[in-house]
Structure formats: structure tokens, C-alpha cells
Amino acid sequence: SLNYFDPTKSTIIHFHGWQNGSSQNNYSREDFLFDYNGENVITSASWKARDWNIAYFYWNQLADEAEVKDAEAKIWTPNGPRGMRYRLNDGSYSTALSPNKSVSDIAFEQITSVLSGSTSYYVRLSGHSLGSQLATNVTKKISDAVYNGTVGNNLTVDRLELLDPFWSADPKSYLGDANGDGNTDWVGEHARWDIQTLIDRHNLPVTWYKSSGILDIWIGDRNTILEGMVTFIHNRFWYLSGPDFVNKHNHVVPWYFRSMASNAPEEVTITWWGARRTTGKLAASARTSDSRIQEMMGDRYHWDQVEGRYTTDPSDDQFERKNY
């Protein structure tokens, strides 16, 4: 609600991903509550305590498709395989009063309207799974609009966080052949192109937090070229069983938002006998400075979680710097 928006404060907006079955579960929605194994943590509290505006962008009924690629298409076009239908709580779909524009366009319009009066000049977007595509698209659309002079530069996105992102593999007819190479484009390609443009224009800090093998074992595009463009870290949630990739995929969201409550994690190297040696530098989390994220970007290093793997609280995490 705009009643809670303070234009003088920094803002983070988070985009959720695929929501198959949520409508039949009383239109359930994700939120900032982490309720797991007896823990009950409101992960937004530390952001509010540090004077942030913090919000979710909900597209849950549109994202409620049995096939993830049908939800994905709505991010890019209103004319995908399932149009812009949305799911009802009886499991059926409706197109009554459905939008005639993509979810990215809807999000761009709503967010630029809400933030138009912002005087903080700081906006951060985060996206989980499919939502990473939405966060990237909106960041690029805002950048284009700033360059075109249709929105103020107070809306420029200052940081982009990809929380275990997902792009489906294979060409998408609704994308066409934007680079003219004679091949129909993949969504992962567009993500790379847009992120490269944003880095070129704004030196945008971008972090990819990989917490599961969702891109490796399913219909995903591993997008390894993008790994070498951004800050790339591996979260290791060893308190979850090895095969539990669904929770490993989902727990990166509360981990990220909870990480604002503690200092940024230490970067370490590991000696041949296994001792951790701090380098004096930090690894990536919500608390890490933008300048440090910028310094970490590229294909020289990646970061692998080596401490705090058996707890849900990010405060005890350490990450080993490894050659990429």
C-alpha cells in the first residue's frame, strides 16, 4: 500500500516465481515470514529497521500454471501459449478482464507510478526463480525509459539480485530473432543481453545466488555465460537433505532477506589442511555494499559457502573465494 511508502527511503521490490496450485490453496501468497522447523522469522523486519521500503510484486494468479513455461511466457508477452489467463480457486482458468499486456509491462507501469515521487535515488530489485526474469526485464525497461526521458533518473535501479534464477531451455517463438543470427531466441539469452546493457550503462551490481540444481536437472537453461558476467555465489543449505531441491530452491529467498540483519559474510580461503583464513574482504549478501558487489563481478572468481551450511541463519556464513 502507498500508505506505507516513504519516498525518502531506499526501496527493494521482490518478484516471486512460479505459483502452481496456489489459487486452489485459498489464493495463498508468499510473504516475508520464514516459518520452518520451529523458527518464525519476519525477514522484512531488519530492512524496515534500517529504514527501507520493502515490497512484494504479486502476479500469483497469472503465475499459477501447471506448466512452468506457460507462466514464463506471460512475463514476456500477452500472446504466449496460454495468453494472459489466470487461475481461480476451483482450479479453472479465466480470461475475464485479463490484461492485454505482459507481466513485465504491468510491473513496469505500476512500479514507475509508485516510485515516481521517490527522493532517495536508490532502488533495488530482487527476483526468485522465474521472478528473476521479471526483475531483470523491469530493470531494463526502467533503464530504457530513463534514457528516453519518459521517467526520471530517480527510478534507475541501483542493484539487481537473482535468487536461484530460472530460465527454461529452448527457443521461444514469442521472442523472435532479436539479434538477427537466424535463430529464434532463448529467454536466457535475453537476460544476458539485458544485463550486459545494464552493466554498460549503469555499472549495475548484479548477483546470482545459486542455491539448488534446478537448472541442471530439469528443463532449465544453465546460462553459464551469465555466471561469468555477474557476482556468482553458491549457497549450500546442508540443513536440508540432499534430494530436497525444492526447499533448497525456495529457502534462498528468506536467506537473502534475513541476511540484512547481520554483517555481510566473510570471504575466506582454505588451506591445504582445511583451515579457514579470512581475506579481510566480504562475500555477497543483502548487507554487502554495492561497490563490493561490483568488485566481485566477472569471471575471475566465484564464491562457495563453506560455513553456516547447517543453520538457516546467515549470520554464521562464510564463503570461500575460488577461481572461476
Q: For residue 217, name the pLDDT band (cuts at 50, 70, 90).
A: confident
Q: What is the pLDDT of residues 219-276, one digit of tens each?
A: 899 999 999 999 999 999 999 998 899 999 999 999 999 999 999 999 999 999 999 9
74-79: average pLDDT: 98
pTM: 0.98
Say what the pLDDT of residue 308 is: 98
Section 110-123 average pLDDT? 97
Say what the pLDDT of residue 196 is: 99
pLDDT of residue 3: 84
pLDDT in the model for residue 93: 98
- pLDDT tier for residue 1 given thresholds of 50, 70 and 90: low
Distance, CA of 225 to CA of 190 (rounded, Å): 12
Percent of the chain with pLDDT over 70: 100
- Beta-strand (E) ranges in the chain? 10-15, 33-36, 39-42, 52-57, 86-87, 93-94, 123-128, 159-163, 206-210, 231-234, 266-270, 276-282, 301-307, 318-323
Q: In 131-161, which positions are buried (b, 16+ CB within 10 angstroms) versus exposed (e)?
A: bbbbbbbbbbbbbebbeeeebeebbbbbbbb
Calculate the average pLDDT of the chain: 97
Contacts of 15 (CB under 8 A, 6+ apart): 56, 57, 59, 107, 125, 126, 127, 128, 131, 132, 134, 135, 138
C-alpha cell at 65: 500454471
pLDDT tens digit sequence for 174-209: 999 999 999 999 999 999 999 999 999 999 999 999
Query: CA nearest 107: which of 95, 117, 115, 119?
Result: 115
The answer on pLDDT for 159 being more than 90 is yes
Domains of the chain, start order: 2-263+290-297 (3.40.50.1820)
CB 186 within 8 A of CB 169: yes
Question: How far does Cα 40 stand from its chain's mean position?
Answer: 23
Supply the pLDDT for residue 267: 98
Please check the confidence at residue 131 and state whether its pLDDT lies above 70. Answer: yes
pLDDT at 301: 97
